[in-house]
Amino acid sequence: MKVSVLGCGRWGSFHASYSCNIGNDVILWGRENSGNLLRLQQTRCNDYIHLPNGIALTDDLERAVDHAEVMIVSISAQQFRSFAQVLAQYDTKGKVLILCMKGIEQGTGKRLSQVASEYIQDADIAVWVGPGHVQSYVRQVPNCMLVASDDHALTKWIVEAFNSNLIRLYIGEDLIGAEVGAAAKNVIGIAAGMLDGVGYNSLKGALMARGAREVARLIKAMGGDEITAYGLSHLGDYEATLFSSYSNNRRFGEAFVKGERFDKLAEGAYTIPAMLDLAQCHQVELPITQAMNDIVYANAEPMGAMRQLFLRTVKGEF
């Protein structure tokens, strides 16, 4: 199968390598003058992976689109709208577009599949989310992930086409829940890092229970299946996001409360205000997200805000 991976950062380079290793004909695209692409062109390596020789590298988006039966997109979630506008200029008819990012668009509260559908009406759109870190996959440590779309047959086809002993893919029946859950777990990951940073890591159990319940309520209010919050896209991704030393979102939260510099992409930081927009629109309380917003964007004192979060009045269990 001909696959083009659009985006050559950590996850894009991994998806290209993975797809090549399971037998596909792969092109990896990066923006012109991209430092990531330049390094791969010069060395075929980055900090995480050595690309198989079978992968072609290009900064020509038209070439990448024309090559592909399947396009896998892995770029910053907040840059996706501008990228989708450019992508729509090329012939995507009959192709499969798989989004491998986890985020909600700031300013609109839209899921990334919704953004894609605004510009690309002639391709089949799906998302690929769930737990796992590139650092583990390159050491051949297996994990499970989830594919979801509005078309069951499409979802099943992707799962069968990309399954392997390294990544066990499962069929998702709830696109709304998969996207919202995947984005929201990054916010919970920041909260977990803050607990680590202030020495309250014993509260991670309470954070996990409350976080999944909050997100389940939001998914239900948006028309999804609240049970999805307890699957691979959200709760199933907590170990990789709330505890792992590889988690950029957890590391961002810890560094933030310690006043330390953190220069990696933490999508959860951008998802916080977008989640609050969704909460307001659907009249759902998201206390954890609100606390993260207060700390990151409103200069609330971290230890006090985290303590208050767990002292708030609750009805029943969380």
Helix (H, G, I), strand (E, B) or coil at 233: coil
In a domain, 316, yes or no: no
Residue 61 host element (H or E): helix 61-67
In a domain, 159, yes or no: yes
**135 with 149, same domain?**
yes
Tokens read off for 58? 């290009």
Return d(Cα 76, Cα 86) in angstroms, integer: 15
Return d(Cα 210, Cα 318) in angstroms, integer: 6
Kindly state the DSSP code that residue 3 receives in the 8-state scheme. Answer: E
Q: Please pick, among 95, 102, 110, 185, the residue that the annotation labels catalytic.
A: 185
Last residue of a domain, one of 172, 194, 229: 172
**34 with 145, same domain?**
yes
Return d(Cα 189, Cα 196) in angstroms, integer: 11
The enclosing domain of 208 has a CATH number of 1.10.1040.10
pLDDT given for residue 318 in this prediction = 46
Q: Whats the size of the chain, residue-wise? A: 318
pLDDT given for residue 265 in this prediction = 86
**146 with 232, same domain?**
no
Last residue of a domain, one of 138, 172, 206: 172
pLDDT given for residue 310 in this prediction = 83
The domain containing residue 20 runs over which residues? 2-172
**152 with 24, same domain?**
yes
Return d(Cα 296, Cα 257) in angstroms, integer: 9
As for how many domains the chain has, the answer is 2
| Number of other CB atoms surrounding residue 276 within 10 Å | 18
Q: Is-catalytic flag, 102?
A: no
Residues 289, 238, 15, 96, CA torsion sign: negative
**46 with 167, same domain?**
yes
**167 with 211, same domain?**
no
**133 with 234, same domain?**
no
**10 with 138, same domain?**
yes
In a domain, 26, yes or no: yes
pLDDT given for residue 314 in this prediction = 52
**198 with 104, same domain?**
no
Per-residue pLDDT tens, the chain, 318 aa: give them. Answer: 999 999 999 999 999 999 999 999 999 999 999 999 999 999 999 999 999 999 999 999 999 999 999 999 999 999 999 999 999 999 999 999 999 999 999 999 999 999 999 999 899 999 999 999 999 999 999 999 999 999 999 999 999 999 999 999 999 999 999 999 999 999 999 999 999 999 988 999 999 999 999 999 999 999 999 999 999 999 999 999 999 999 999 999 999 999 999 988 899 999 999 999 999 999 999 999 999 999 999 999 998 888 888 876 555 444
Sheet-wide strand order for 143-149: 56-58, 25-29, 2-6, 70-73, 96-99, 124-129, 143-149, 167-172
Q: What torsion, rounded to 10 degrees, do the Cα atoms 127, 221, 268, 178 define?
A: -20
The enclosing domain of 124 has a CATH number of 3.40.50.720
Residue 4 · residue 21 · CB < 8 Å: no
Return d(Cα 37, Cα 317) in angstroms, integer: 49
**187 with 150, same domain?**
no
Rounded to 5°, angle at Cα 23 from 232 and 130: 10
Last residue of a domain, one of 172, 202, 224: 172
